[in-house]
Amino acid sequence: MPKASATVLAVITGVAALAIPILVSIKLAQRQSLQSEMHRALSYATEVMIRSERTDDQIYDGIDKLVRTRGDSGDSPCSDMQVALMREIDLSSSYLQAIGYVSKERLLCSSMGRHPGGLALGPVEQVTRSGTTIRNNVRLTTIAPDTTFIVIQKGSYAAIIHKSLPIDVSTQEKDVSLATFTPGYREVRTARGLVKLKWIDELDGRNQATFFDGEYVVAVVQSTRHSTGAVAAVPVVYLNQRVREFAMVLVPIGLLAGIALALVARYLTRLQQSLPALIRTGLRRKEFFLLYQPLVDLQTRQWVGAEALIRWRRADGGLTRPDQFIPAAEEAGMIQRITQHVLQLVAKDAPEIFKRYPGFHVGINLASNDLHTRDIIDLLQALLDSADAGPHNILIEATERGFMNADLARDVVKEIRSLGIDVAIDDFGTGYSSLSYLESFELDYLKIDKSFVDTIGTDAATSRVVLHIIQMAKSLNLKMIAEGVETAAQEQFLREHGVQYAQGWLFGKPMPLEQLLRELAKAEPEKRI
């Protein structure tokens, strides 16, 4: 994937990982708030309804009592005894304003006494299913001129109640609308605040309904015992306030969840940026460079060449050693791109070296895959052309593993040598090579691996192996380069046993081109070949 789109994808994933939980938490806050406001509206409506029901209970109890006593005594409806009973009922019923006897729409007597000529109640407005009649706006001018009452009448008896009584419910928010109504009638009996009649329609035969109409969160309920219903409506401002309250809690939680998700997303994209992908980017960003380790002639101790060793300076500044990425690159089939890059780097550095020291050589490491196609021949030819170098300026180092696919490798090695370039077998003795198959290759040098050089002068069981290797190289007519020489004793031993060249910290560590050139200049130029 190209870097730009990978970055865009990572950013999109990150933003989504952050945004989605926040959006979800806001949605959740809204849903939660709506539910809790509906619940609140429902509890107000229910409270109003319960007050209405209790009022109705007291009315019917009172009227029943009056009907029963009068029936028993055969008294006239406004006898002293009846009026006294009315008074008694009134006193014991907290919701009743008065209770009395009605004839021809006039209240003849009541718990307030006898009303000579009667008090006009006006026409009946509503009739319930059980035949109870209701007047919603009665004014009893002689008793309380400024107040309107509800008069509920059953048979000839009627109860007078204060209009605001059923809705006298305390609410937490001051502008909650409350109302009572008579089921079957599309009008309110008594109301506080704005009440829309269409809310009552929402009941649609059910006992309760809650909904949001865009401006109010509304609850409508209807009694199962009496002909009475109630409405409560909470204005949208309280809903919004609720949303804010919930959001204050839920959004931070969502944010934390989002951060956690974003971290997971980042971790996953990191994982995706596997080593091959990183190598590819590294190549493009020119994060690879070469160090050169000098190779000395053990007879003269002169620097006759240098091995090019690749280094990777990562974008974060960290240096990655080749044994950490070369095997991964080989596995991912990317080693040839690295080799190509190394050859380009050598082509860039070489002219400066060979111009000053025409006999000097640079060693180039090839991986086993490089030996399996002819591509390397063309690349080497291009290097010879571009770097203005002779074939003697290049030494190819191929590991034993490169010779595993012997038939392919043999031809490629042959072609490299036919360019006039010398070939060395690297890491000799660490792999599976046998003498017989080594014999089948035409080679020029054998590099004695550091692990054998390390044993020189010790009594390790393998310390004699180095002598065998030297013997073998001689019999195959291969010149020798000892690797990893760190002590003077090792140097002496190798020289005494006829090893021609050596490399190691004793002579010089891998160094940048500039340092190599400086060191070479320090030595006497006429001594160079």
Q: Contact residues for ligand C2E (CB under 6 A)?
A: 293, 309-310, 321-323, 326, 342, 365-367, 397, 426-427, 483-484, 486, 503-505, 510
From the CB of 494, what's the least distance to ligand C2E, in Å? 13
155 binds, among Ca ion, ligand C2E, none (CB under 5 to 8 A by kind): none
From the CB of 28, what's the least distance to ligand C2E, in Å? 56
Spatial CA neighbour of 167 closest among 140, 145, 195: 195
From the CB of 320, what's the least distance to ligand C2E, in Å? 10
367 binds, among ligand C2E, Ca ion, none (CB under 5 to 8 A by kind): ligand C2E
**Angstrom distance (rounded) from CA 171 to CA 180:** 16
From the CB of 364, what's the least distance to Ca ion, in Å? 9
Q: With respect to ligand C2E, which residue has the nearer C-beta, 90 or 426?
A: 426
Return the sign of the alpha-carbon dihedral for residues 71, 74, 79, 81: negative
Binding span for Ca ion by CB under 5 A among 160-168, 384-392, 479-487, 493-501: 479-487
**Angstrom distance (rounded) from CA 232 to CA 166:** 12
503 binds, among Ca ion, ligand C2E, none (CB under 5 to 8 A by kind): ligand C2E
Is 422 a binding residue for Ca ion by CB under 5 A? The answer is: no
Query: Contact at 8 Å (CB) between 447 and 413?
Result: no
Q: With respect to ligand C2E, which residue has the nearer C-beta, 235 or 431?
A: 431
Of the candidates 427, 445, 490, 494, which one interacts with Ca ion according to CB under 5 A? 427
From the CB of 480, what's the least distance to Ca ion, in Å? 13
Strands 229-235 and 208-212: unpaired
Binding span for Ca ion by CB under 5 A among 26-34, 48-56, 166-174, 480-488: 480-488
309 binds, among Ca ion, ligand C2E, none (CB under 5 to 8 A by kind): ligand C2E
Q: With respect to Ca ion, which residue has the nearer C-beta, 370 or 427?
A: 427
Q: With respect to ligand C2E, which residue has the nearer C-beta, 323 or 407?
A: 323
Q: What DSSP designation does 471 have?
A: H
Using DSSP's 3-state secondary structure scheme, residue 377 falls into: helix
Query: Contact at 8 Å (CB) between 511 and 295?
Result: no
From the CB of 5, what's the least distance to ligand C2E, in Å? 31
Interhelix angle 335-356/275-284, nearest 10 degrees: 40
Is 454 a binding residue for Ca ion by CB under 5 A? The answer is: no
Helix (H) or strand (E) holding 233: strand 229-235
**Angstrom distance (rounded) from CA 417 to CA 53:** 111
From the CB of 338, what's the least distance to ligand C2E, in Å? 6
Side-chain half-sphere of 261: how many Cα atoms within 13 Å?
Answer: 18
59 binds, among Ca ion, ligand C2E, none (CB under 5 to 8 A by kind): none
From the CB of 470, what's the least distance to ligand C2E, in Å? 18
Of the candidates 47, 426, 454, 491, which one interacts with Ca ion according to CB under 5 A? 426
Is 365 a binding residue for Ca ion by CB under 5 A? The answer is: yes
297 binds, among Ca ion, ligand C2E, none (CB under 5 to 8 A by kind): none
What is the DSSP code string of 96-137? -SEEEEEETTEEEEETTEEEEEEEE-----EE-TTS-EEEEE
From the CB of 427, what's the least distance to Ca ion, in Å? 4
Is 397 a binding residue for Ca ion by CB under 5 A? The answer is: yes
| Token output for 83 | 């009026």
Q: With respect to ligand C2E, which residue has the nearer C-beta, 58 or 369?
A: 369
From the CB of 247, what's the least distance to ligand C2E, in Å? 58
What HEC string does 256-305 produce?
HHHHHHHHHHHHHHHHHCCHHHHHHHHHHCCCEEEEEEEEEECCCCCEEE
Give Cβ neighbours of residue 283 (< 8 Å, ≥ 6 apart). 337, 338, 341
Spatial CA neighbour of 188 closest among 70, 306, 297, 48: 48
Helix (H) or strand (E) holding 397: strand 394-399
Report residue 9 CA to chain centroid gap: 13
**Angstrom distance (rounded) from CA 283 to CA 302:** 34
Q: With respect to ligand C2E, which residue has the nearer C-beta, 322 or 390?
A: 322
484 binds, among Ca ion, ligand C2E, none (CB under 5 to 8 A by kind): ligand C2E
**Interface with Ca ion: number of residues (CB under 5 A):** 5
Binding stretches for Ca ion (CB under 5 A): 365, 397, 426-427, 483
